[in-house]
Structures are given as C-alpha cells and as structure tokens.
Structure 1
C-alpha cells in the first residue's frame, strides 16, 4: 500500500473506490482492518497527544477525511489522490453490507440518535444488516465488556461514533478483543448527520473544502475554537514543515 507521511501522520494514498475494494477483500478473506480517518484538527492534536498519534499511525488503513489534508499533502510534495470522507465511506459500506449480507454494529452517540440510525438503515435496506447497537456513554472500566459484546454480536463491521481521541484509543486498545470483527472504524459525528440531527454542507462546499465553515456557521459558539483556532494551527504546521 502506498503510504505517505507528513506532519507526524501516516496517510494511505487511496481513492474511495480503492478503499472500498480493500475493505471488501479483507472481509471476504476473514481478515481484520483497523481503519481511521484524519482531518486538520486531528493532525494538530497528534502533535502533542502521543497516545492518539500511536492509535492513528499504527492503524491498518488511514484515509484523509478533510480536504485540508489533501491540500497539505500537495503543498508538502506528497500528493494524495483524493479525500475519502469518513461519512461517505460509512454510507458506502452500509450499502455494501446489504449487497454482501454483512452485519454491522453501531456504537456511539446518544441513545435516540443511534436508534434513529439503526431504524433508518433497517428500513432502507434490511434489519438483517444490524448485528447490534449501543450508545456512546460508558465508563473506562466498561470498555472491555463493550468490546466483548461487539465481538460476540456476529458483526463484520463496527462503526464507532464517539469524539476524538476516545474512539481512536478505544479501537486501538481493544482491537485484539475485536479480532472477530473484520472492519473497525471511527466515524465521529456521522450518526448525527445520518439521523438528521445535523445537516451536512452542500456538495459544492464539500468540494471546495468549506465543510468546516458550514459546520461552524451552524454552531459558532461551540465550534469556533475547533475550526478557527485549529485550522490556523494546521496552516502553521504545514508552512513550518514546508520551510524546514
């Protein structure tokens, strides 16, 4: 696999189609892929959070979730083919699960949100794709019991909709317990979008890398630090690495 490294971060140079093909082949071969996506905010956090850096960089498959990461890769002379957004990958994989009769475990978000996601996919496709679900509220000492529950559910795929760095560290710390699950992936706030709680930016804004601004405009008081401060730090890191 063609993997690039910049800003202390590993990223696989794969398109969406190539990523989907890799996941499908892995499931059919009964192998496990520990997947993660990186965006500007996560890369900034990885500069100082060494546990998060390890959880990300030692994953089997790492995609560039944000358009800013694709921009950075080109600026630093290590161009990536395209953005592979986590939510788009998840949606495509749910469709693949229906076609291939895979089962999925949905873990994360509030109870009403994860239930809404399960109900939506059950009605759109079939209840047969659901291996189980659980909300994302738990104590640290409950982690291994949750991992065992998921492992025993018969799931081929696991989507974890919890904020960083909790989801990355949960998957890294428990991937041995989850070895029977062929594909494990953190999906952040994707359940909120699928359930309709949060609206996603129009396609043209996604294509121009402005999805962050659309999200900021929806909740400026909550998101200003994550995006305005985080994006400024990211640009600084890219320029610093470019110059040195």
Structure 2
C-alpha cells in the first residue's frame, strides 16, 4: 500500500474502493487487520497522548477520515487521494458482509442505540450477518472478558463505537485476544447516526469540509471545545510544518 507521512503519522493513500479491496482480501485469506481513521481532532490528541499515538501508528490500515486532513496533506506536498469516512466504510462493509456471508460484532454506544443498529441491519441484510453485540459501558476489569466474548462469537468483523482514545486503547491492549477477528475497526459515533439519534450533514457539507460544523450545531455545548480548540491547534500544527519547507 502507498503510505504517506503526515505530521509524523502514517496514513494509507487509498480510495474507498481500494480500502474495501484490502479488507476483503484480508478476510478471505484469514489475516487480521487493525483499522483506524485519523481526523483533525485525533491528530491533535496524538501530540500529547503517547498510547493513543502508539495504537494508531501500529495499526495495519490507516485512513484519513476528515476533509481537513486531505486538504492539509496537499498543502504539505503529500496529497491523499480522497477522504475515507469511517461511517461510509462501515456501511459498505455491512453490505459486503451480506454479500459474502461475513459476520459482524457490534460494540459500543448505549444499549438502546446498539440494539437499534443491530435490528436495523438484521432487518435490511438478514440476521446472518450478526455475530453479537454489546453496549460500550463497562469497567476496566471487564475488558478482557468482553474481548474473549467477541473472539468466540465467530465474527470476521468488529465495529467499535466508543469515543477516542478509549476505543483505540481497548483494541490495542486486547489485540492478542481478538486474533480470531479479521477486521477490527473503531467507528466513533457512527452507531448514533445509523440509529437516527444524530443526523449526518448533507453531502455538500461533507464535501466542503463542514461536516464538523453541522455536528457542532446539533450539540454546541458538548462539541464547541472539541472543534474550536481542536481545529485551531490542528491549523497551527499544519502551518508550523509548512514553514519548514
């Protein structure tokens, strides 16, 4: 795979179609891929969170989920082909699972949300794609048992809808217990969107890099700091790197 370096972070320069091909090949060959996406907020967090950075850079497959990262990669002379949004990749993988008889384990969000996601996909694609599910609220001492439950479920794919950096750390720390799962993927808040709790931005806002602003408008009190402070720090990181040229 063609991998670039972006602010010290490796990112695979793949389109959505190429990413799906890599994943499907890994499943067919019985290999395991740890997948992760990076966006502006995660890039900033990785500057001060060593374990988060370690979990990201050691992943097998790293996509850019964030138009700001794609634009910045061009500014820094290592242009990425396109954004591979985590939620779009997840939806495509659900369809692929239905086509190829793969099973998925869904981990994360509240009990109501994850149950709604599973019910929706089972209705649309058949119960056969569901290996199991569990909400994302658990204590540290429960993690090993949960990882074992997932490993024994028969799932080829695992979607984890837990916020960063908790999900990256959970997946990285328990990777040895998840050896039976071919694709391990953090999907952030995607379950909330699929369940209808959160609306996704219109396509034109996604393409123009304003999806974050649409998200902010839905929950301004919770999101203002993440986006205002995080985006400002990201811009400064990119500009600082640019002046080194």
Same fold per superposition (TM over 0.5): yes
- How far does residue 139 in structure 1 lie from its aligned partner after superposition? 0.7
Q: Are 1:17 and 2:17 an aligned pair?
A: yes
1:31 is paired with a residue whose SS is coil
Task: Write the deviation string for residues 159-215 of structure 1: whole angstroms up to 9, x where unpaired.
Answer: 000000010111111111101000000000000000000000000000000000000
- How far does residue 70 in structure 1 lie from its aligned partner after superposition? 0.2
Indicate conservation of the 8 Å contact 1:8/1:47, yes or no: no
Query: Partners in 2 of 1:36 and 1:65 — Cα distance?
Result: 9
- How far does residue 138 in structure 1 lie from its aligned partner after superposition? 0.6
- How far does residue 7 in structure 1 lie from its aligned partner after superposition? 1.4
Counterpart in the other structure of 2:73: 73
Deviation >6 Å, runs of 4+: none
1:176 is paired with a residue whose SS is helix
Indicate conservation of the 8 Å contact 1:147/1:178, yes or no: yes
Task: Write the deviation string for residues 21-73 of structure 1: whole angstroms up to 9, x where unpaired.
Answer: 00000000010000000000000000010100000000000000000010111
Query: Partners in 1 of 2:35 and 2:108 — Cα distance?
Result: 16
Counterpart in the other structure of 1:165: 165
Q: List aligned pairs for 1:203-214, cutoff 5 A.
A: 203-214=203-214
What 5-or-longer segments of structure 2 have no aligned partner?
none
RMSD: 0.5
TM-score (norm 2): 0.99
Counterpart in the other structure of 1:122: 122
Query: Partners in 2 of 1:105 and 1:26 — Cα distance?
Result: 17
- How far does residue 6 in structure 1 lie from its aligned partner after superposition? 1.7
Aligned residues: 244
Query: Partners in 2 of 1:241 and 1:122 — Cα distance?
Result: 46
Counterpart in the other structure of 1:87: 87
- How far does residue 8 in structure 1 lie from its aligned partner after superposition? 2.2
Task: Write the deviation string for residues 121-161 of structure 1: whole angstroms up to 9, x where unpaired.
Answer: 00001001000000000111111111000000000000000
TM-score (norm 1): 0.99
Query: Partners in 2 of 1:46 and 1:9 — Cα distance?
Result: 9
The more displaced of 112-121 and 6-15 is 6-15
1:177 is paired with a residue whose SS is helix
Counterpart in the other structure of 1:38: 38
Query: Partners in 2 of 1:128 and 1:178 — Cα distance?
Result: 21
Q: Are 1:229 and 2:234 an aligned pair?
A: no
What 5-or-longer segments of structure 1 have no aligned partner?
none
Indicate conservation of the 8 Å contact 1:4/1:13, yes or no: yes
